[in-house]
Amino acid sequence: MSKKEPHIIHQTETISPEHKFIIRDAIAADLPEIIKLDSQNTGIKKEDYWSDAFERYGNSYDGFFHVAENDSCFCGYILGEVRAWEFGSPPCGWIFALGVHNDAREMGVGSGLFESVCEHFREAGIDKVRTMLARNDNLNMSFFRSQGMRSGPFIQLEKNVTN
């Protein structure tokens, strides 16, 4: 697996000078804050999942794992990757996870993270970004809608296989 050097991707000033934040590649030291925020948002602590995600996306060129910080305080994260031909889909960017700290909401952090990953997708020649959400996840659904996302041409199906 090829390793990459973390670097600052964006320096963004939003609604006021005190809300200036940077977006950079995630580093291993971010994992405790990411795990904590995800745990607060989902109610489940997933240390192994996030360690694996960091190795796969944050520590290599396979995907994009960005964090936002304000004065060295962690504000949020986003995780994405280019995937091709699964379910018959031509290459497109996928966003797997997004989290913004409660205290950093409505400051443009989520939009900044979203745009940082979209910029990487564009640089990779990708013109479509997708994500998947729980139907009752109104917070994230509203956020992605506000970024211009809408229902796509695929639909997720499932069945119980245990009976």
Q: Tell me the window of 49-57, 60-68, 97-105, 137-145 that interacts with another protein (CB under 8 A).
A: 137-145
* Span 53-92, contacts to another protein by CB under 8 A: 87-90
Strand 63-70 versus strand 21-25 pairing type: antiparallel
**Which of 142, 77, 144 is CA-nearest to residue 104?**
77
Q: Quick check: 127 binds another protein (CB under 8 A)?
A: no
Task: Classify burial at 57, counting beta carbons within 10 Å of its beta carbon; exposed 0-12, middle 13-18, buried 19 or more.
Answer: buried
The residue (of 13 and 127) whose beta carbon lies closer to another protein is 127
Q: Quick check: 154 binds another protein (CB under 8 A)?
A: yes
The residue (of 135 and 159) whose beta carbon lies closer to another protein is 135
Give the whole-angstrom CA distance, residue 7 versus residue 5: 6
Q: Which residues bind another protein (CB under 8 A)?
A: 87-90, 135-136, 138, 141-142, 145-146, 148, 150-154
